[in-house]
Structure 1
Amino acid sequence: MALMHWATMNPTKAALLMAWLPGRPWFQGTAGADVERVAGYRFDDPAGAVGVETLLVRAGDGPIHQVPLTYRDAPLAGGDDWLVGTSEHSALGRRWVYDACADPVYAATLAAAVLADAGQAEEFFEVDGQREYRELTMSITGSGTRGADLPPVDAVRQVVEDDLTLVVTDSVELAVVRRLDGATAAEGAVLTGTWRGQPSPLPLAYARRR
């Protein structure tokens, strides 16, 4: 379960991505174009410490890009090269925002979603002490066996940025599809998604055990 806050971020996620995306090798679009959120989904950090959110965004007239992010209350050790930026959250204070592909919490939750069909987090707002459900903007499905045992996913050993961004850990290899045009594929179990305007499932990520 993801508990959301009625809060502001300064700079906003869109502003952070507007500055960060043009420097990525897999980005296609116009530098400086406004970043529009198309849909998104979240995973639960079992420890409850790290926010894990994947955004589907479009910059101007470009294609839809998949951008996984993690939000931390302190810097990620060894994560300087993957820092998207910092932002002041009006409820939680300073957040360090990372390209999640380099974050072991994201690697573990993505592996669970693909290999064990763990699903996405339900989202709620807390209003006057009551929790209000936030309608999800997309649906995801993993091709692995629901509830399957998974090896521990700890440190991220390597990240190779490309149209399929490769994330290597000691126990699994993950491939994250960056441009959601159906033109990239990999071997292994697959996570697919649908959203408004995209009723046919498209691959989002792949995983295989090492």
Structure 2
Amino acid sequence: MALLHRATLRPTKLELLTTWLPGRPWYQGPAGVEVVRQGAYRFDDPAGEVGVETMLVAAADGPVHQVPLTYRAAPLDDADEWLIGTTEHSVLGLRWVYDACADPVYAAALAHAVLGGAGQAEQYFEVDGRREVRPPAMTIDVDGGGGAVPEVGAVRRVVDEDDTLIVTDAVELVVVRRPVAGASGARGATLRGAWDGQPTSMPLAYVRLR
């Protein structure tokens, strides 16, 4: 489960992405145009230390882009090139926001969600000591998972091209940066998703054992 906070962020996540996205090799859209959220889903960090959220965003009439994010209370070692920016969270304080593809917490969470068949985390708020569940912003399903999940290990290599390849000690993960219908699932166990305006479930990520 993912505990959320009713909070403000300055700058917002979308403001950070509006500045950061045009410099990515896989981005196809106008620069200087505010991006709009199309959907989002979260995974759990078992340690409860790192926020793990994936946002689907678009600018103007450009394609939808998938951006996994991790939110940390301190900088991630040796990951300066993957830092999207910092934001002041009104409840948690200063947070470092990373492109999660270089974050070992995200790699492990994605592998467990897909290979283990768990899918996205349930999201909730604490309200007067009660748990208030937040409805999911999009539908997620898994094809080819449901088996044993190895110890994922460290992120050894990240290849950031049209899609992003993440190589760890035990698995290879592919994050689809511009989801499209009809993509092949032959690349491994598959995470699929659908959101408002996109009712057909499309591949979002692939995971395979090394």
Bucket of the pairwise TM-score, normalised by the shorter protein: over 0.9
- Between the two proteins, the alignment pairs up a number of residues equal to 209
Quick one: structure 1 residues 5 and 181, their matched pair in 2 at CA, closer, same or farther if it must change by over 3 Å? Answer: same
Say whether the 8 Å CA contact 1:116–1:144 is kept in structure 2.
no
Tell me the residue number matched to 1:121: 121
Q: In 1, distance between residues paired with 2:144 and 2:113?
A: 8
Q: In 2, distance between residues paired with 1:24 and 1:11?
A: 20
Gaps of 5+ in 1: none
Q: In 2, distance between residues paired with 1:27 and 1:93?
A: 30
Tell me the residue number matched to 1:7: 7
Following TM superposition, by how much is the alpha carbon of 1:184 offset from its aligned partner in structure 2, in angstroms?
5.3
Following TM superposition, by how much is the alpha carbon of 1:108 offset from its aligned partner in structure 2, in angstroms?
0.5
**TM superposition score normalised by structure 1:** 0.95
- Which secondary structure state, in structure 2, belongs to the residue aligned with residue 14 of structure 1? helix
Gaps of 5+ in 2: none
Tell me the residue number matched to 2:149: 150
The CA deviation string for residues 132-189 of structure 1, in whole angstroms up to 9 with x for no partner, is 111111111122342x221111211111111211000010000000012237556111
- Which secondary structure state, in structure 2, belongs to the residue aligned with residue 68 of structure 1? strand
Please give the residue correspondences for 1:36-75 in structure 2 after superposition, counting only pairs within 5 Å: 36-75=36-75
Tell me the residue number matched to 2:34: 34
Say whether the 8 Å CA contact 2:181–2:201 is kept in structure 1.
no
> Is structure 2 residue 169 aligned with structure 1 residue 180?
no
Q: Report percent identity of matched pairs.
A: 64
Amino acid of the residue matched to residue 209 of structure 1?
A: L
Please give the residue correspondences for 1:189-200 in structure 2 after superposition, counting only pairs within 5 Å: 189-200=189-200
Say whether the 8 Å CA contact 1:113–1:141 is kept in structure 2.
no
Q: In 2, distance between residues paired with 1:184 and 1:169?
A: 24
What is the aligned-residue RMSD (CA, Å)? 1.3
Say whether the 8 Å CA contact 1:163–1:184 is kept in structure 2.
no
Following TM superposition, by how much is the alpha carbon of 1:116 offset from its aligned partner in structure 2, in angstroms?
1.7
**TM superposition score normalised by structure 2:** 0.95
Say whether the 8 Å CA contact 2:103–2:155 is kept in structure 1.
yes
Question: Mean Cα displacement is larger for which, 85-94 or 176-185?
Answer: 176-185
Amino acid of the residue matched to residue 156 of structure 2?
A: R
Say whether the 8 Å CA contact 2:2–2:121 is kept in structure 1.
yes
Say whether the 8 Å CA contact 2:41–2:136 is kept in structure 1.
yes
- Which secondary structure state, in structure 2, belongs to the residue aligned with residue 160 of structure 1? strand
Q: In 1, distance between residues paired with 2:165 and 2:182?
A: 16
Q: In 2, distance between residues paired with 1:37 and 1:197?
A: 12
- Which secondary structure state, in structure 2, belongs to the residue aligned with residue 97 of structure 1? strand
Tell me the residue number matched to 1:159: 158
Q: In 2, distance between residues paired with 1:86 and 1:137?
A: 24
Tell me the residue number matched to 2:85: 85
- Which secondary structure state, in structure 1, belongs to the residue aligned with residue 132 of structure 2? strand
